[in-house]
Amino acid sequence: MNDTPLNDDLRDLYQDLILDHGKHPRNFRVLDGANREALGHNPLCGDRLVLSLKVDADNVVRDAAFQGSGCAISTASASMMTEMLKGRSVAEVEKLFDYFHALCTGATPSAEGVAADDVERLNALAGVRHYPVRVKCATLAWHTLRNALVPSDEKKASTE
Amino acid sequence: MAAMNSVAERRADFPVLTQTVHGKPLVYLDTGASAQKPRAVLEAMQSFYEREYANIHRGVHELSARATERYETVRGDVRRFLNAAHADEIVFTHGATEAINLVAQGWGRTFLKAGDEVLVTQLEHHANIVPWQLLQQQTGITLRVVPITPDGDVLIADVAAALSPRTKLVAVAHVSNALGTVLPVAAIAEMAHEAGALILIDGCQAASHMSVDVQALGADFYVFAGHKLYGPTGIGVLYGRRDILNAMPPYQGGGDMIESVRFSGTTFREPPYRFEAGTPPIVEVIGLGAALAYVNAIGLDNIARHEDLLLRYATEKLSAIEGLRIIGTAPRKAGIVSFVMANIHPHDIGTILDRHGIAIRAGHHCAQPVMEALGLPATARASFGLYNTTADIDALAAAVIRARELFA
Ligand SMILES: Cc1ncc(COP(=O)(O)O)c(C=O)c1O
């Protein structure tokens, strides 16, 4: 089979950065002293992650970590997200969420209020918009993050 | 004759198979989820709509009489297909799931009480678990589970150990949809009967892969779905032994299932009509009849032999791939290979194969307890049909190797 173009196409989704984070997720651990957490679950494919955060009195995320099992896309997305969170206010996180959500679902994302290097990092997952059934894998961590930050009785994110 | 047909000729009977997906010829390896339809089925349904369609059992007019006759003819075809003793033991439902729920609600809710036990195995499809859990909530029965071995097999000794005088029903798959394991259902039926229990066999994954004889198996109930047998969606079959069906009250109420309706009291028709309330899936029954004719013309024994060849070929080919592990290595299997790969999640395998035009299923296959028992979140599953070839499996293996390269 001669399918170099095919691999190029798949490379759009599975970039080196994604594969690396998928294989060696950062902040993949229990977070001692966490004060916010949420469980994310994608019942369709069985992806499951627990996100733990340390949020200070000023509503700034001081640390973030996750555990669980999932595909390369959901693991990489969670890993890259936890790397971005430290030092961000809840308001900033909300902007990142909106940008990323629009990016993945094919809407034209507004980069307003999002730093250029954040845009670049989030854009690494933009390939997922061409794989509609995989969008939920990419957004699972971010939905879970939202649930962890927005205090509610239901600490469980679901992409269904 | 069709029995002599080559696989290439059979493939030509399936219009859907000629297309390309993502620029690659479609390789359809998801028959376990649903089979593709031969032209004969599509044409039978179209032609029925065009020439004979009317509601059944209710018209004095010509079309209704013809439609009723066609519908009842298929009941006879299904009887022969399962080698049931009587056509009235064949109930048409809207799916296999409904057929199992019919037994749980019609039979279970009537005859079972708190303390009685229903026995299932750990490899059941959710459709053969959840109806019993609902019954458990309603009646207080106990649901007991026969464990599977690390090979994904069900051992007769484990079934024997789980049976007790309290067991009233054993509900087991004939073939596991997640792993392909063929269960020793005839032996299980014998043991169930000795313990004074009935047996329901979920034949969804079996009916398209092997010939089924409900009398030889000792089945009290046997269910299957039309859509996995090259027929349409929306049609399922419940076989129930005559004396058992006769004792069961209706499952749903409505037209067609009644003898007479009065506000002072309604009486119900005899089986199977008692269980077919309302307008049934008439055209889907016609489609199922065409599917049975198609499969019979090739011969289930020929199909079984062909798929067994594919299974052995796929097992050998895939096993040779570094980092790939086949999940489900029971001695008797049919038509299904589940696998996982080191460092690649099944979901990623599914996406990569899809880009190669290869349709497989990735996930828990509606059998979460199987995944839990084997300690896996999911598997990738290739399942075979009468139209698959060794070339399909070569394509599968090549794409799996490319996936491994991509993730290396
Ligand atoms: C073993 C088994 N049982 C039951 C079912 C349920 O069939 P349906 O969803 O068509 O009602 C399936 C289909 O996936 C199956 O494979």
Domain membership flag for residue B142: yes
pLDDT single digits (tens) B7-51:
999 999 999 999 999 999 999 999 999 999 999 999 999 999 999
Domain membership flag for residue A157: no
pLDDT single digits (tens) A11-69:
889 999 999 999 999 999 999 999 999 999 987 777 899 999 999 999 999 999 999 99
Q: Which of B245, B275, B296 is the last residue of a domain?
A: B296
Domain membership flag for residue A156: no
Is B109 found in the same domain as B136? yes
* DSSP codes, A118-147: HHHHHHTTGGGGG-GGGHHHHHHHHHHHHH
Whether residue A150 has pLDDT greater than 90: no
Q: Please tell me the distance between residue B366's alpha carbon and the centre of ligand 1 in angstroms.
A: 8
Domain membership flag for residue A123: yes
- Chain B contact probe: residue of A6, A8, A75 with most B CBs at under 10 A: A6
- The Cα of B315 is separated from the nearest Cα of chain A by a number of Å equal to 21
Q: At B85, give phi and psi (nearest 5°).
A: -75, -35
Minimal-distance CA residue to ligand 1 atom 16: B177
Q: Which of B251, B272, B296 is the last residue of a domain?
A: B296
Question: What was the pLDDT predicted at A44?
Answer: 75
Binding pocket residue ranges, ligand 1, CB within 6 Å: B 95-97, 125, 127-128, 173, 177, 202, 204-205, 225, 227, 236, 366
Q: State how far the alpha carbon of B261 is from the alpha carbons of B55, B270, B275, in Å.
A: 20, 15, 16
Which band of pLDDT confidence, cut at 50, 70 and 90, is reported for residue B183?
A: very high
Q: Structurally, how many domains does chain B consist of?
A: 2
Domain enclosing residue B387, as ranges: 7-30+299-407
Domain membership flag for residue A159: no
Is B175 found in the same domain as B285? yes
pLDDT (mean) for B267-279: 94
Domain membership flag for residue A130: yes
Domain enclosing residue A142, as ranges: 8-150
Q: Please tell me if residue B355 touches chain A, with a CB cutoff of 8 Å.
A: yes
Q: How many residues does chain B have?
A: 408
Q: Please tell me the distance between residue A51's alpha carbon and the centre of ligand 1 in angstroms.
A: 34
| A48: chain B residues, CB-CB within 8 Å | 377
| Chain B residues 9-38 with a CB less than 8 Å from chain A | 22-24
Q: Structurally, how many domains does chain A consist of?
A: 1
Maximum distance among all alpha carbons in chain B?
A: 74
Is B342 found in the same domain as B381? yes
> Closest by alpha carbon to A149, among A76, A94, A100, A79?
A94
Is B238 found in the same domain as B113? yes
Q: Which of B268, B296, B324 is the last residue of a domain?
A: B296
Q: For chain B, what percent of residues have pLDDT higher than 90?
A: 93
Is B106 found in the same domain as B171? yes
CA separation for the pair A125, A99 (Å, rounded): 12
Is B261 found in the same domain as B122? yes
- Chain A contact probe: residue of B20, B347, B372, B406 with most A CBs at under 10 A: B347
Is B169 found in the same domain as B198? yes
| Token reading at B129 | 């678990």
What is the rounded radius of gyration, in angstroms, for the C-alpha atoms of chain A? Answer: 15
Q: Which atom of ligand 1 is nearest to the CA of B99?
A: 11
Residue among B345, B356, B395 whose CB faces A71 most closely: B345
Domain membership flag for residue A3: no
Domain membership flag for residue A34: yes
Q: Please tell me if residue B126 touches chain A, with a CB cutoff of 8 Å.
A: no
CA separation for the pair B310, B389 (Å, rounded): 7
Domain membership flag for residue B1: no
Is B328 found in the same domain as B249? no
Question: What was the pLDDT predicted at A9?
Answer: 79
Q: Please tell me the distance between residue B235's alpha carbon and the centre of ligand 1 in angstroms.
A: 12
Question: What was the pLDDT predicted at A1?
Answer: 43
Domain membership flag for residue A1: no
B79: domain CATH number is: 3.40.640.10
Domain membership flag for residue B37: no
Domain membership flag for residue B36: no
Is B322 found in the same domain as B241? no
Is B267 found in the same domain as B285? yes
Is B16 found in the same domain as B93? no
Is B313 found in the same domain as B291? no
Domain membership flag for residue B2: no
Question: What was the pLDDT predicted at B2?
Answer: 43
B309: domain CATH number is: 3.90.1150.10
Sheet strands (E) in chain A: 36-42, 47-55, 61-69, 156-158
A139: domain CATH number is: 3.90.1010.10
Question: What was the pLDDT predicted at A5?
Answer: 56
